[in-house]
Chains A and B, each alone.
Chain A
Amino acid sequence: MKKWLEIICRLILGGAFLYAGVTKLPDPAVFQEDILAYQLIESFRVTAYLALYLPALELLSGAIILLAPLRIRGLEDRYDLHRFDLPAVTILTGLMFIFSLAYLSTLIRGISIGCGCFGEAMQEWPAWAIVLRDVILLGCGIIILCLRRRELPFFRRVN
């Protein structure tokens, strides 16, 4: 049961970020405009670097959390991808946390924007749908971390 819960959460979180990375990677200029629309960072230089960096991080981490649990027979000892697994889940959960806060701040400040999360796609989503999606993705990350807490260094002593 727990195994399936984890698999579902991985598919949702990993799939969403893989998709987000793939749609944003080809056109950083559009993503830069989306970041600027949040009106949180005004510097063009910083947003240009972020527009280049974030899609790469999302793509890589998303791919890792989908691929890491796969065990290739005979290669278990040589194949180190699973060591990147929990760091990737932690990074994605952290990113989701930051993105959700950024989106909430636009709602509070009354700026109406699409979230820019998936490039041109889903720009027309209503705010409640974006919030719901953020909550689900954040939840998936937290669930995976909770299920695997024994493998995380921070909780070792508690267990």
Chain B
Amino acid sequence: MKAVDSEPERLQQAAMWWARLSDKHRVASADEIAAWLDWAAEDQANADAFERVRALASGLAAADDAARRSLVAEFAVRPRRRQVARAFALAACVAVLALAGGHAFKRLAMAPTLAPQSQHYATTVGVHRDIALPDGSQVALGADSQLETRFGADQRQLQLQRGEAFFEVARETRSFVVDAGPLQVRALGTAFNVRRTGPRVTVSVTHGRVRIAPTEAAAGAGGAMEAVAGQRVSYDPLQGRFEVSRVEVDRMLGWRNDRLEFIDEPLDLVLADINRYSPRPLRGTEPTLARLRFTGTVRPSQLEGWLAALPDILPLRVEAGPDEVVVHATE
């Protein structure tokens, strides 16, 4: 470990050593012991810090039963599973969340099929917008988002070029199709959520069912499939296939109420998503950020607090500058 430049960092290193050495299910390797000796000998203050964290840990373990039970009751009780998602009051709603690359947007914008009757909607960072579509459908467009619509005689076509949107679909005979890059989602009198971050797309169905078809960009994913309420279908470009899991889908719509929900998502994609709400862009430096996974709620209105707490959850250092916030991996 590198030399410390602050006491909190020294304590953190000492605590890391305690966590490693005290793990009875691990055997310290020769290399690890050598590293430990180097660290302990490097500075008298290191050894002091280690003794202080160790005394606290063993003092806690030795505290009386009542004290320990109270801590267990407050902090270590397994969370109860949340109620299954309530069915929507709305007859049919479609939420689409997408993070498309800039060049993908340019390509789509130039596509001839969209040119004549298409309508373009856009929002800036941190701003939502409500839109009434000509067929009576309602759209809540998320922050930093772009949406193209083209309503023809047979079809209502929508392309979410970047960002996020929540659709309340008016029932009629024309189909309602949302294009989200590698996947195309067709509403079958349903409510569903699509998240698109680059090539990675996740569809969560809250009500009814949807038909999901891979486009050319996802040729390896196989044929079309249908997903029903309570299911989440992810298309991971690295794996080249669908993954189906169960999810509390109404949480995925929390963005309308200042709640961005993430379930086991790569941190670099999480940062990209949050950037649609952050006045200062967040930037990750190491490729290892993609290996770190994040699950939890981010409130865009309280982004500073989330960033401050982030190093508690993941081995990261957050450096807030005037123009951007840089996130470094520390391990």
Partners in one complex: no
Q: Which residues of A are at the interface with B, using a C-beta cutoff of 8 A?
A: none
